[in-house]
Structure 1
Amino acid sequence: MSPVTSAPAVPGAKGHSDGAGAFVPVQTRSERPRSYDPAAFEAPTGREVNWKHTPTARLAPLFADHAAPRGVIEVDVQAPAELVQERLGHGAAPRGEVFQPEDLPAAIAWKQETEAPLLRIPAGVELSEPVVVTLRGTGGLAHAHVVVEALPNSHATVVFRHTGTAQHAQNVEIIVRDGAHLTLVSVQEWDDDAVHAASHQARVERDATLRHVVVSFGGGVVRVNPSVELSGTGSRGELYGLSYSDSGQHLESQVYLHHKGAETSGDVLYKGALQGEGARSVWIGDVLIGPDAVGTDSYEANRNLVLTDGARAESIPNLEIETGDIRGAGHASATGRFDDEQLFYLQARGIREDEARRLVVLGFLAEIVQKIGVEELEAELFAAIEKELAMEVAR
Structure 2
Amino acid sequence: MSAVTNAPTVPTFEQHGLKQHSDGDWANKAPVQTRSERFTSTNVEDFPAVTGREVDWRYSPVSRLTALTAGELNGSSYDVTSTDADGVTVGWTSREDTRVGTAGTPEDRASANAWTAFEKALVVDVSGEDAKAVHVRRSGLGGGARGAHTIIDAAPFSRALVVLENSGDALLAENVEILVGEGAQLTVVSVQEWDDTAIHLANHFSRVGRDAKLKHIVVSLGGSIVRVNPSTHLAEQGADIEAFGMYFADAGQHLEQQVYVNHDAPNTRSRVTYKGALQGDGARTVWIGDVLIGNKAVGTDSYEQNRNLVLTDGTRADSVPNLEIETGDIAGAGHASATGRFDDEQLFYLMARGIREDEARRLVVRGFLSEIVQQIGDADLEQRLQAALEAELAGTSVS
The TM-score with structure 2 as length reference comes to 0.90
* Residue 80 (structure 1) aligns with: 85
Moved over 4 A (4+): none
Aligned partner (choices 99, 102, 106) of residue 101 of structure 1? 106
Work out whether 1:38 is the aligned partner of 2:38. Answer: no
Aligned partner (choices 130, 136, 152) of residue 139 of structure 2? 136
* Residue 209 (structure 1) aligns with: 213
Whether contact under 8 Å (2:301, 2:331) holds in the other structure is yes
Distance 1:89 1:99 in 2: 18
Distance 1:38 1:340 in 2: 50
More off after superposition, 285-294 vs 35-44: 35-44
* Residue 66 (structure 2) aligns with: 60
More off after superposition, 23-32 vs 228-237: 23-32
* Residue 230 (structure 2) aligns with: 226
State the AA in 2 paired with 1:342: Q
1:274 Cα deviation after fit: 0.3
- Residue deviations 1:344-368, cap 9 Å, x none? 1211221100110011001111110
* Residue 122 (structure 2) aligns with: 117
Over 3 Å counting, the alpha-carbon distance change for 1:59 and 1:67 in structure 2 is: closer
Distance 1:76 1:110 in 2: 22
Bigger Rg, structure 1 or 2? 2
- Residue deviations 1:140-188, cap 9 Å, x none? 2221100100000000010011100110001100000000000000000
Aligned partner (choices 329, 337, 342) of residue 341 of structure 2? 337
Whether contact under 8 Å (1:38, 1:65) holds in the other structure is no
Distance 1:173 1:67 in 2: 19
Distance 2:117 2:363 in 1: 46
Distance 1:356 1:44 in 2: 44
SS at match of 2:368: helix
> Equivalent residues in 2 for 1:361-372 (5 A)?
361-372=365-376
Distance 2:75 2:150 in 1: 18
Work out whether 1:281 is the aligned partner of 2:285. Answer: yes
Distance 2:288 2:202 in 1: 15
SS at match of 1:355: helix
Distance 2:43 2:36 in 1: 19
Whether contact under 8 Å (2:90, 2:125) holds in the other structure is yes
Distance 1:225 1:282 in 2: 11
Q: Percent identity?
A: 54
* Residue 357 (structure 1) aligns with: 361
1:101 Cα deviation after fit: 1.1
Distance 1:81 1:331 in 2: 39
* Residue 184 (structure 1) aligns with: 188
Distance 2:368 2:374 in 1: 11
Distance 2:291 2:259 in 1: 8
Over 3 Å counting, the alpha-carbon distance change for 1:69 and 1:171 in structure 2 is: closer
Aligned partner (choices 157, 162, 165) of residue 166 of structure 2? 162
- Residue deviations 1:223-257, cap 9 Å, x none? 00000011111110000000000000000000000
1:88 Cα deviation after fit: 2.8
SS at match of 2:65: helix
SS at match of 1:361: helix
Work out whether 1:91 is the aligned partner of 2:96. Answer: yes
Over 3 Å counting, the alpha-carbon distance change for 1:20 and 1:77 in structure 2 is: farther
1:66 Cα deviation after fit: 2.2
Q: State how many pairs are aligned.
A: 374
Over 3 Å counting, the alpha-carbon distance change for 1:105 and 1:338 in structure 2 is: same
Distance 1:188 1:27 in 2: 31
Distance 2:398 2:55 in 1: 38
Distance 1:70 1:114 in 2: 6
1:113 Cα deviation after fit: 1.1
SS at match of 1:392: coil
1:64 Cα deviation after fit: 2.9
Distance 1:378 1:324 in 2: 40
Whether contact under 8 Å (2:75, 2:147) holds in the other structure is no
1:68 Cα deviation after fit: 1.6
Whether contact under 8 Å (2:72, 2:145) holds in the other structure is no
For structure 1, the 5+ residue unaligned runs are 1-18
- Residue deviations 1:248-302, cap 9 Å, x none? 0000000000111111110000000000000010000000001011111000000
Work out whether 1:382 is the aligned partner of 2:392. Answer: no
